[in-house]
């Protein structure tokens, strides 16, 4: 325990005298360095957590959690009956068909991903339920398509416009095989908030997609949506056992390398930014060492008055720890406040300086995400305090070993 006299002396040393101005500057820089280091670390971790969560939400909003793809035989109705046994983990299922094509509009062309669904199934997709920007899914019928807002803007399209799609399948003619082309009408425009989808994905009635790609019912995929998509690995194993003759894969499989890279980047950023705290904490060693030298006479007097060397060590340790503790607390408050208001701050800075701080075409998100994670804040706080404790030990130990007789003799 720390006694009242130890606290009194420690907090007195936290207020350097006028002639100790240099010591005061070192203490201020130590405080600011640790506070800013903690704040920046919390902000970066919050943005990266938000970025990962936002991407997962967008990916899961547009993609099935698990997909069953046929090899040589179609997915029969008796296969679907097997899913009833997993009704506790499966939310909904639907058939789909995907293919790549080229959208042609006047002098513009764009490679796109075509996804075919039944109208009623399309309405079940989470992002489309609330993301229709113009038009309606009620008009989603034969020879109509639904396109993303960014694609509509780039090609100057609107609801009711007619466009031409070219498929990868060919048509036999007297002059050879030619790419198949068909005309379609835009029935609706959606906005997902994920630029990658809005620029490159269009939806088409499943019957039209099958015909457009010269496919059949044997080629349809089964899309499975889970009640808890975070438990996808466990669910995938159960579904694979039911569909052993088919290829089963999940959203995690398709994006494994991407989210693996995000995890590595997050860990590397944590290590790099922790160096800011470490460098700032080393200023505490410098400050305490100078403080011990300046207070040599006072330490000797305290020792002759009966203050133990252990108490001397506690006094100087408390000085260093107090700087680190209050700096960490300040950094946490700054980091949380900044993270909570980061989108407002980004918008304000973009307007003031007329620059784009978070371009949507690069990051594929319409706004800067941020997710405050209490576990991350706790880890950052504990790491900062641990660093402060470590750098405060050595100067405190040196102060406790000071010989009062020699100190008074040579002062």
pLDDT tens, 337-385? 988 888 787 777 777 777 666 665 555 566 777 788 888 889 888 988 8
**pLDDT digits 0-9 by tens, 14-26:** 666 655 555 567 7
Give pLDDT, residue 334.
92
Write out pLDDT tens, residues 181-191: 888 888 888 88
| Res. 329 pLDDT band, cuts 50 70 90 | very high
Q: Tell me the per-residue pLDDT of 396-409, one tens digit each, with 9 for 90 and over.
A: 777 777 666 665 55
The residue behind tokens 């200023």 is 283
The owner of tokens 């101005």 is 21
- Burial of 8 per CB tally in 10 Å (0-12, 13-18, 19+): exposed
CA 332, distance to chain mean position in Å, is: 19
**Which tokens hold the place of 214?**
């010269």
What's the confidence (pLDDT) of residue 68? 85
Pairing of strands 201-205, 108-117: parallel
Confidence of residue 86 (pLDDT cuts 50, 70, 90): confident
Residues 217-237: pLDDT tens digits?
778 888 888 887 777 888 888
Contact 385, 277 (CB under 8 A): no
Pick from 124-128, 129-133, 366-370: least confident:
129-133
322: confidence class by pLDDT, cuts 50, 70, 90? confident
333: confidence class by pLDDT, cuts 50, 70, 90: very high
What confidence score (pLDDT) does residue 163 get?
87
Kindly tell me the sign of the dihedral angle through the C-alpha atoms of 346, 348, 354, 360: positive
CA distance 194 to 113: 15
Task: Tell me: pLDDT of 270 over 60.
Answer: yes
> What are the structural domain ranges in the chain?
4-56+258-410, 71-245
The secondary structure element, H or E, covering residue 252 is helix 251-254
Q: How far is CA 170 from CA 111, 180, 181, in A?
A: 17, 5, 9
């Amino acid at each position: 325990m720390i006694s009242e006299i130890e606290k009194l002396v420690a907090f007195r040393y936290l207020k350097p005298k006028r002639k100790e101005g240099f010591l005061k500057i070192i203490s201020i820089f130590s405080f600011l360095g640790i506070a800013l280091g903690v704040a920046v670390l919390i902000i970066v971790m919050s943005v990266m957590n938000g970025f990962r969560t936002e991407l997962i939400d967008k990916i899961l909003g547009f993609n099935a959690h698990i997909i069953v793809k046929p090899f040589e035989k179609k997915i029969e109705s008796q296969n679907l009956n097997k899913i009833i046994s997993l009704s506790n983990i499966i939310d909904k299922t639907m058939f789909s068909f995907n293919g790549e094509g080229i959208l042609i509009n006047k002098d513009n062309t764009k490679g796109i991903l075509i996804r075919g669904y039944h109208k009623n199934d399309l309405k079940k997709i989470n992002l489309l339920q609330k993301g229709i920007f113009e038009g309606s899914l009620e008009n989603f019928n034969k020879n109509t398509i639904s396109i993303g807002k960014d694609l509509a803007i780039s090609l100057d399209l609107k609801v009711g416009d007619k466009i031409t799609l070219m498929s990868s399948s060919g048509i036999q003619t007297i002059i050879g095989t030619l790419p198949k082309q068909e005309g379609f009408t835009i029935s609706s425009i959606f906005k997902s908030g994920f630029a990658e989808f809005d620029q490159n994905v269009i939806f088409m009635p499943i019957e039209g997609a099958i015909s457009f790609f010269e496919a059949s019912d044997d080629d349809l995929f089964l899309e499975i949506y889970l009640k808890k998509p975070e438990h996808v690995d466990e669910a995938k194993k159960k579904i694979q056992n039911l569909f052993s003759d088919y290829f089963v894969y999940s959203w995690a499989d398709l994006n494994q390398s991407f989210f693996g890279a995000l995890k590595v980047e997050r860990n590397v950023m944590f290590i790099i930014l922790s160096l800011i705290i470490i460098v700032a904490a080393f200023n505490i060693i410098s400050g305490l060492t100078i403080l011990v030298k300046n207070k040599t006479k006072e330490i000797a007097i305290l020792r002759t008055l009966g203050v133990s060397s252990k108490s001397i060590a506690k006094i100087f340790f408390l000085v260093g720890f107090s700087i680190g503790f209050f700096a960490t607390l300040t950094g946490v408050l700054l980091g949380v406040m900044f993270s909570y208001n980061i989108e407002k701050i980004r918008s304000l800075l973009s307007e003031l300086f007329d620059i784009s701080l978070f371009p949507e075409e690069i990051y594929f998100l319409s706004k800067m995400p941020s997710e405050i994670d209490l576990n991350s804040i706790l880890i950052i706080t504990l790491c900062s305090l641990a660093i402060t404790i470590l750098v405060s030990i050595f100067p405190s130990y040196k102060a406790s070993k000071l010989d009062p007789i020699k100190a008074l003799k040579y002062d």
